[in-house]
Structure 1
Amino acid sequence: MAAGASPMQRQDHSTDHPELDVLPEWPQETIAVLVTTDPAPHAIPVSWPVRAGDRQILLSLKFDRGSLARLREQPEVALLILGGGDVALCARGRARVVAEKMPGAADYVAVRIDVEVIDDHRQSAFAVAKGIQRTVLDSSELDALQGRVATLRAWAENQN
Structure 2
Amino acid sequence: MHRAFNVFSKLTLLLAVLSLSFTGCGYRRPAQVKTTGTVTLDGEPVANAALMFIPDSGRPASGNTNTNGEFQVSSFGGNDGLPAGNYRVTATKLVLKDKFQQLYDRQVERAAAEAEPGEEPEEVDIEFGENAYRNDLPENYAELDTTDITVTITKQQEPLVISLTSE
The TM-score by the shorter chain falls in which range? under 0.3
TM norm structure 2 = 0.25
- Structure richer in helix, relative to its length: 2
More strand by share: 1
| Higher normalized contact order (CA 8 Å, seq sep 6+, divided by chain length) | 2
* TM-score normalised by the chain length of structure 1: 0.26
